[in-house]
Chain A
Amino acid sequence: MSRNSTAGRAGTTTAAADSAPAPAGTPAPRRALLRGLPWVVWRRHRTLLRIGLLVTLASCALFAYQRIGVLDFLHGKGSAPGGDGRLLDEFQSSFTPMFNRDLQFMESLPLLVGVFLGAPLIAGEREHNTIRLVTTQSVSRGRWIAVALGLPLAVAAVCTALLSAAFTWLWSPAHDLVGGGDWLQSGAFDSTGPVPVAKTLFLAACGIALGLLAKRVVPAMAATAVFGFAFSVVWSERVRERLGTLRSLSYPYDGDGPHLPPGSVRIDDWVSTADGRLYGYGTCVNGDTAACRAKLGIVNRVTQYFDYGQMPGMQWLGAGILLALTAAVLALVVWRTHRRPL
């Protein structure tokens, strides 16, 4: 649409030029929404931002379509996995590939935005020296950096928020069945609620900062990719499980169990004494196990887990931490572009 309007405007300018002197400073008749600096920033990233918006709309439509199939299945067969696991098997054979693709897409989104939108944002301006073009027009550097960062990040935030909402809408009716009900490790934790938005903004901000330091697009993108992988390892191995307090369920050593609440994620198993002292699950499994247990006083087994009800709290806490880090990184970028010669 903008291409048409641009061509049309250029056409009228040349046509007007042939007959009469072109009017000075005529505002563009269309896209009145985008003027001044936002127009320049939008035009500069037009292709990428349009692709982002299109992918968002297409994916939301796809999620909505997929939801019809999921709901059909759930209405026919029920949504809680039964004891024998037949429902789970059936669900997994028909929906696992679909959900795996969706989850992979949702999980890769932050890194893609960081590498392709964040990293080139300032690195591209520096590499081609166009930063000297924009910062020597009549707009102060503070305003330029605010719009240059704000507009792309706002579009990224809106797109991921839409995608996350659509995917959450698709996933939540079947949350007990997707990935065997494991909302933490299956990717659902990072693909629903506020987490995708926060992760995307964080990696985009880090890409921008790395681009500012690297001054070249390709090294900036490579650095952002490496950083993104390192971040995802730290996030899933070290951070995610510390966002909530583990709950414990004790049951007799030889008894039946554990009977965890539906939708909970089992994290760890222990054995324990009557007064609650924990030993590793591998304690007293070799040799005279009964005597060993008697000596230590082990009478119970303990399972630690996260309840499904803890998920939103953990997600918002994680997202809050990431958004605070994002704000810190962006503040650093703004401070540096303000202070240091570019």
Chain B
Amino acid sequence: MSEPNSWAVEARGLGKKYRRGWALEDCSFRLPAGHICALVGPNGAGKSTFLGTATRLVQPTTGSLKLFGVPVGDPAVLERFAFLAQDKPLYPRFTVAEILRLGRELNPRWDQALAERIVRSGNVPFTARIGTLSGGQRTRVAFALAFGKRPELLLLDEPMSDLDPLARHELSGLLMAEAAEHGTTVLMSSHMLSEMEDMCDYLVVLAEGRLRMAGQTEELVPAHMLVTGVAGGDSGVPDELLRQHTVVESRVTGRQFSALIRPGGPLSDSWEALVPSMEEVLLAYLRSPEAPVLITDEARIDSDATKEAAA
């Protein structure tokens, strides 16, 4: 994994400060190519800001961001990614065929057959104007434009949020199939946690502009445990847990104590342990901003590398 192109996204100390404060602060992680990655976080967590810096729509205040080894400041990066903004902007007076022509005229690697196939499989007429299409059809055309560009990285901002369940199901299927067929890396922001669980194998969690968790779901979720037992200690958190393990979130109900922990060693038998779902892990992290950050080795950009990049 030392070849530079194997990293679809490399963020080092990335930050963006607006007048109101930091929207994204000191964000460092990397995403290996070929994954379907969910960018999760509550509203205002910095997801759109991050996608903005990746798509050259927002200029980062600090740090650097590379897509497939190409810094986002270099216009050459434009060919590498495709971006689908939340409101799927398309010129409303263009016909579907003209939107595809726009893609063909503006992108050297354009794949007309692929784009047409995506449009046709949704029975969207080529002569229809964009303004007359339904939300699902518009999203499909936007997908066709994005995939027709033949990107190595597909960046999606809340792609399914304004769709009805049927269209959502249909388009997630399309997304997964096309991404798998072309080996496209996908990074999509969402706050629909249950849906992410089915689609994504990589997670990047942001809260209040900071990175909270990054890594493969297979590694992140099993690193946690839901434990229940008898409450104790001053704060209600039993000392035994604090000593050996990392407590992400805990709750005391009467004499019962329950917590989501990252076990740091074997757990004593006095605890009843369960394997949490991805949604439970995410919610625990989003609810407790104090919880320690968890970045797997694969997703981590070590501080030496950060210094090197800064020098």
Contacts and interface: CB of A to CB of B under 8 A. Distances in A.
Given A37-B105, A136-B56, A13 B91 contact: no
B287 interface: no
A35 B104 CA distance: 10
B57 A342 contact: yes
Contacts of B107: 137-138
B251 interface: no
B89 A130 contact: yes
B66 to A, nearest CB: 17
B250 interface: no
Contact of B101 (A11, A39, A139, A141): A39
Interface string B54-75: 0111110000000000000001
B82 interface: yes
Given A129-B89, A132-B83, A22 B113 contact: yes
A239 interface: no
Nearest to A18: B120
B224 interface: no
Interface string B116-151: 100010000011000000000000000000000100
Contacts of B93: 44, 47
A136 B82 contact: yes
B85 A138 contact: no
A140 B89 contact: no
A24 B97 contact: no
Interface string A285-306: 0000000000000000000000
B78 A136 contact: yes
Interface residues of B, number: 43
B52 to A, nearest CB: 7
Contact of B126 (A10, A131, A135): A10
Interface residues of A, number: 41
A23 B90 contact: no
A97 to B, nearest CB: 38
- Residue of A26, A132, A141 with most chain B CB atoms under a 10 A cut-off: A132
A133 B86 CA distance: 11
A6 B85 contact: no
Given A13-B116, A129-B89, A138-B79, A40 B105 contact: yes
Contacts of B95: 6, 10
A43 B94 contact: yes
B106 interface: yes
A140 B78 contact: yes
Given A10-B97, A136-B55, A137-B149, A39 B105 contact: yes
Contacts of B104: 25
B87 interface: yes
Contacts of B92: 128
A123 to B, nearest CB: 14
B126 A137 contact: no
A137 B98 contact: no
A138 B108 contact: yes
Contacts of A39: 101, 105
B293 interface: no
Interface string A11-53: 1011001000111111010000001110110011001000000
Contact of B106 (A40, A340, A342): A40
A40 B145 CA distance: 14
A23 B83 contact: no
- Residue of A26, A39, A133 with most chain B CB atoms under a 10 A cut-off: A133
A102 to B, nearest CB: 33
Contact of A44 (B56, B91, B114, B126): B91
A277 B291 CA distance: 89
Interface string A124-166: 0000111111111111110000000000000000000000000
A10 B99 CA distance: 11
B112 interface: yes
A11 B90 CA distance: 22
Contacts of A28: 101
Contacts of B105: 35-37, 39-40
Given A22-B112, A25-B110, A36-B106, A141 B89 contact: no
Contact of A138 (B59, B78, B90, B112): B78
Contacts of A135: 56-57
Given A14-B126, A36-B105, A130 B112 contact: no
Given A6-B95, A136-B57, A13 B90 contact: no
A130 B57 contact: no
A7 interface: yes
B274 interface: no
B83 to A, nearest CB: 4
B102 interface: yes
A342 B81 CA distance: 18
A132 B92 CA distance: 14
Given A35-B105, A136-B57, A138-B78, 15 more contacts: A13-B116, A22-B113, A25-B111, A36-B105, A37-B105, A43-B91, A47-B93, A128-B89, A128-B91, A131-B89, A133-B91, A137-B106, A138-B109, A139-B78, A141-B75
16 contacts: A13-B126, A14-B126, A17-B120, A21-B113, A22-B116, A25-B111, A28-B101, A37-B106, A43-B94, A44-B91, A130-B89, A135-B56, A138-B106, A139-B106, A341-B52, A342-B57
Question: Which 9 residue pairs spanning A and B have beta carbons closest together?
Answer: A137-B106, A140-B75, A129-B89, A10-B97, A136-B83, A24-B112, A10-B126, A138-B107, A130-B89
